[in-house]
Amino acid sequence: MTGLALLIPLALMMGFFGLIGFFWALRSGQFEDLDGAANRILIEDEAEEEA
């Protein structure tokens, strides 16, 4: 049973981090353009000059 004392907070903490991650993604506008994000991986980069 002592395992629970460690595992339950650990599990909750991990879930909570996931939730915080989602909120961060929401705030930083990553859900603004879902169609664009889906298509962006198909853009060919050969003409791109990255500084």
Partner 1 sequence: MATRALPDVAASCETVLVVPGMHCAGCMGKVERALQAVPQVVSARVNLSARQVRVAHDAAVTTPQLVDALSAVGFPSQPRGDDMAPPPSAVKPLLAPVAVAAFACMNVMLLSVGIWSGADGATRELFHWLSALIGVPAIVYSGMPFFRSAWSVLRRGRTNMDVPISIGVTLATTLSFYETLTNGHDAWFDGTLMLLLFLLAGRALDAMMRDRARAGVDALLRQAAPGAMVVGKDGALEWLAARDLLPGMLIRVAAGERLAADGEVVAGESRFDQSLLTGESLPVFVAQGGAVHAGTLNLDAPVDVRVTAAGQDTSLAEIARLMDAAGQARSAYVRIADRASRFYAPAVHLTALLTFAGWMIHGAGLHQSLVVAIAVLIITCPCALGLAVPVAQVVASGALMRKGIMVKDGSALERMSRIDRALLDKTGTLTMGKPTPDAAVIAALPADAAAVALALASHSRHPISRALAEALAARGVRAAPLADVVEEAGQGVRALWQGRAVALRRPEAATGVATTLDIAGMATWLIPFADRLRPDAETALARMAGMGIACSILSGDNDRAVAEMARATGLEARAAASPLEKQAAIAQQQAQGRRVLMAGDGLNDGPALAAADASIAPGTASDVGRQAADFVFLGDSLAALPRAVAASRATMAVVKQNFVMAIGYNVLAVPLAIAGYVTPLLAAVAMSTSSLIVIANSLRLVRAAR
Residues 6+ apart with CB under 8 A from 30: 37
Between CA 48 and CA 40 the distance in angstroms is 14
Between CA 29 and CA 51 the distance in angstroms is 24
* Interface with partner 1 in residues 3-42 (CB under 8 A): 4, 8, 11-12, 15-16, 18-19, 22-23, 26, 31-36, 39-42
Task: Report if residue 48 touches partner 1, rule: CB under 8 A.
Answer: yes
Interface residue list for partner 1 (CB under 8 A): 1, 4, 8, 11-12, 15-16, 18-19, 22-23, 26, 31-36, 39-45, 47-51
